[in-house]
Amino acid sequence: MLEIENLMVFFENALALNGLNLTVQQGEVVAVIGSNSAGKTTLLNAVAGLVNDMRINSQRRGGKRISTYGHIYFKGEDIIDWTPRQRVLNGIVLSRERHPIFQESSVLENLKIAGYLRKRSEISNSLAYIFRLFPALKALKRRVAGFLSGGEQQMLAIAMALVARPALLLLDEPLLGLSPHMQATVMQAVVELKQFSGITVLICEQFAQPVLPIIDRGYVLENGMLTFSGTGAELIGNPEIHAAYFGRLAEDGVDGQN
């Protein structure tokens, strides 16, 4: 479904992604594990079309020079020049890190805002589907989003991406700032997505421990380069990966309450 070939992204002379090759098959849950500054957000922004947007805006303002090379194929089509809007309309939807939700609006209002590219009837179908998938959100639908816990806000952020009806859901650090319990809840939601909706998922994360058990395949990203790939079990069994990434569990000490 997604094939990335030799993708390179430069911010001025700094190489953020260096010759990346990655594939995601239809129906798979694939993870890219990497620590801070490895290039995770840049990778997902490139797939969502946001790097192109940044490049064009920066060029207009005479600011930083952003250059990209390589190819991104989605369902066999080279989408490297597609706008973010074209990508969303074709099913590539990004849920960004640190859940940028509308804090003063209710859960339901947030979900409706997220469906702005959809017809009203499609939004109500999506809402029914989302509330079946996340019954906890249904119970909270009138709650002001800013009063939700960190985990609930993350669930809402994922649900907002689902309103756009993704074929390929991109999750950027969905576990950031969550307690181990909340991390497990969010990962369970991804499992349910795979089981019940057939949505393909690409997750970029630094917390390997909760992610690896639920994925089909994974990659390790270091300094913009993919250094290892394998099944979830292969990644879990690799002593170097274990030593480098398995200490990372809610290590920023945030307990899920925002």
Ligand X SMILES: Nc1ncnc2c1ncn2[C@@H]1O[C@H](COP(=O)(O)OP(=O)(O)OP(=O)(O)O)[C@@H](O)[C@H]1O
Cβ nearer to ligand X, comparing 8 with 191: 8
Q: Residue 208, Cβ neighbours under 10 Å: how many?
A: 26
Yes or no: say if 72 and 55 are a contact pair by the CB < 8 Å rule. Answer: no
CB of 163 vs ligand X, minimal distance in Å: 24
Binding of ligand X at residue 39 (CB under 6 A)? yes
Give the x/- contact pattern for ligand X in 45-74, rule: CB under 6 A.
-------------------x----------
Part in contact with ligand X (CB under 6 A); list of ranges 37-45, 81-89, 152-160, 238-246 = 37-45
Binding residues for ligand X restricted to 222-241, rule: CB under 6 A = none
Per DSSP, helices labelled H in the chain are: 40-48, 50-61, 84-89, 107-114, 120-133, 135-139, 150-163, 180-197, 208-211, 232-237, 239-245
Question: Is-contact 8 80, C-beta < 8 A?
Answer: no
The interface region with ligand X, picked from 10-18, 74-82, 125-133, 210-218 by CB under 6 A, is 10-18
Contacting residue, 40, 87, 112, 194, with ligand X by CB under 6 A: 40
Strands 14-24 and 2-11: antiparallel
| C-alpha dist (Å) from residue 168 to 119, 182, 249, 252 | 20, 23, 26, 29
Question: Which region among 31-39, 99-107, 122-130, 180-188 touches ligand X (by CB under 6 A)?
Answer: 31-39
Residue 38 in the binding site for ligand X (CB under 6 A): yes
Q: Which residues pair with 222 in a beta bridge?
A: 225
Among 13, 36, 121, 195, which residue sits at the site for ligand X (rule: CB under 6 A)?
36
123 binds ligand X (CB under 6 A): no
Q: Which is nearer to ligand X, 69 or 196 (CB)?
A: 69
Among 7, 41, 115, 185, binds ligand X (CB under 6 A): 41
Which is nearer to ligand X, 54 or 169 (by Cβ)? 54
Q: What is the DSSP string of 59-91?
A: HHHT---EEEEEEEEETTEE-TT--HHHHHHTT
What is the spatial order of strands in the sheet that 168-172 belongs to?
92-95, 168-172, 200-205, 29-33, 217-222, 225-231
Q: Do β-strands 225-231 and 77-78 pair in parallel, antiparallel, or remain unpaired? A: unpaired
Instruction: Kindly indicate which of the ranges 34-42, 113-121, 186-194, 238-246 contains the residues binding ligand X, using the contact rule CB under 6 A.
Output: 34-42
Q: Which of positions 160-219 make contact with ligand X (CB under 6 A)?
A: 206
| Footprint on this chain of ligand X (rule: CB under 6 A) | 11, 14, 16, 34, 36-42, 64, 206
